[in-house]
Amino acid sequence: MCFAVWGAVSLLGTSWLCGATSAPENTCVLSLPGDVSLVWRILALIVAGYLLLLVTLDLGEQARQRLGRRQVASLVWSAPLLAGLAVGAGLSAGAALAPDPSGTLRRTLDGLLGTEAIAVSAVVTLLAALRWITVVTRLPSALRHARRRQETIERLRRDGRRFPGTVTLGDVRGWLGRNPELDVVIAYESPAGTRVLPGRMRTSPDRVPADGSRVVVFDDLRGVVHVELDLDAEFAFEPEERYTASE
């Protein structure tokens, strides 16, 4: 769905640009009527943008919930997005070159007026395709890592020892988009005594647990742990503005 929607919008946008070129011999996949008013075109872009946003955010959220890692989820939704952009723009550029491939390509490379749409479509195709190759190259290993992590979490929940603990918030170390990554310290009592574990927590600005929140630590007593908020305890979140990235 994400691929189809982004492909359609890429094709529509580059075809619209192609139809506006001053070179009459250039064609495009979609011939858009020249008498369509600017208002209707802007309205169509707003509707298309809204649909794109819904589809992409939905795919990203489903991937995040299923895989448990935002970075892997971003690879999952960006792969069909980039493929759609590349295919849509590529079809538009190919149709514009079709009547006279060598001549049109030469004029485009020379930067002659009337070939701007072809150049833009080609650049979009090239950049999206290169980025897509990077994403699909990283995706298999990222998915394997996420799957192993999910299997480890399931094993710890099933077979690990459960201990109550607390989380102490540290400094913000960086940002992934608008989401903060914080240093944290987890303290809990185990059969070996009090354990204090430093770690990193990445979450959204409105989901940073309050300092001192109670957590549950699943420990296999072999050095592998998993930490979750204690849902049986009353907990609160830090004010969202405290961990919102500055503009």
Residue 3: is it exposed, middle or buried by C-beta count within 10 angstroms (0-12/13-18/19+)?
middle
CA distance 100 to 24: 13
- Angle, in degrees to the nearest 10, between helices 38-67 and 116-159: 30
Higher pLDDT: 118 or 237? It is: 237
Pairing mode of beta strands 214-219, 225-229: antiparallel
**What's the average model confidence in pLDDT over 157-165?**
92
Domain locations in the chain as residue ranges = 2-154, 161-243
Residue 178: is it exposed, middle or buried by C-beta count within 10 angstroms (0-12/13-18/19+)?
exposed
The pLDDT score that the predictor gives to residue 62 is 75
Neighbours of 108 (CB within 10 A): 22
- With the CA atoms of 47, 51, 54 and 59 taken in that order, what torsion angle do they form, in degrees rounded to the nearest 10? -160
Residue 50 has pLDDT above 60, yes or no: yes
The pLDDT score that the predictor gives to residue 208 is 92
The pLDDT score that the predictor gives to residue 168 is 94
The pLDDT score that the predictor gives to residue 134 is 93
pLDDT in tens, 113-122: 455 667 777 8
CA distance 142 to 78: 14
Tokens standing for residue 222: 């072999």
Among 87-101, 200-214, 233-247, which range has the highest average pLDDT? Answer: 200-214
